[in-house]
Amino acid sequence: MSAQYDAICAFIYREARFLDDRNWDEWLELYAPEAEYWMPSWDDNDELTDDPQTQISLIYYPNRNGLEDRVFRIKTERSSASMPEPRTNHMVSNIEVLSEQGDSVDIRYNFHTLSHRYKETNHFFGTCFLTMRAHADVGFRITRKKIILKDDYISQVIDIYHI
């Protein structure tokens, strides 16, 4: 394994840890200001939507401002969907480097998240596609994250900490 691959894995594991530990500010720092964060939905024909501007998405933020607003609502208890905050455990596997262009790298990995709230445990699983750019202070910054939620029939609101 190369040092670059080890650094990529460490970065992805760090993001998962920040979510599990509710380190919201540190988690946000992993995202570039222009970062797109998108979880498309599945349509009636069992196909993923492909345009967040004209089709339904489970989550869509065109840049980090949306993530910052979401974190603000969670931290200030202005999100009834997040009160009380669930306890989560993110598991990440099958990390692959898909391509590298200059200081950017495209990654694919699988996730399985357990979420416990109100004496009930739910699980969410799927595949993430990341574009990351090398950055001096955090190793990388995420410039694009696309989350494919495979278990999209869910009984609750899905949020950033579930994936």
> Over the chain, what HEC string results?
CCHHHHHHHHHHHHHHHHHHCCCHHHHHHCEEEEEEEEEECECCCCCECCCCCCCCEEEEECCHHHHHHHHHHHHCCCCHHHCCCCEEEEEEEEEEEEEEECCEEEEEEEEEEEEEECCEEEEEEEEEEEEEEEECCCEEEEEEEEEEECCCCCCCCCCHHHC
129: CATH: 3.10.450.50
Domain residue limits at 88: 3-162
Structural domain count of the chain: 1
Mean pLDDT in consecutive groups of 10 residues from the start of the chain, 163 residues:
84 96 95 97 92 94 95 74 76 97 96 88 94 88 97 76 81
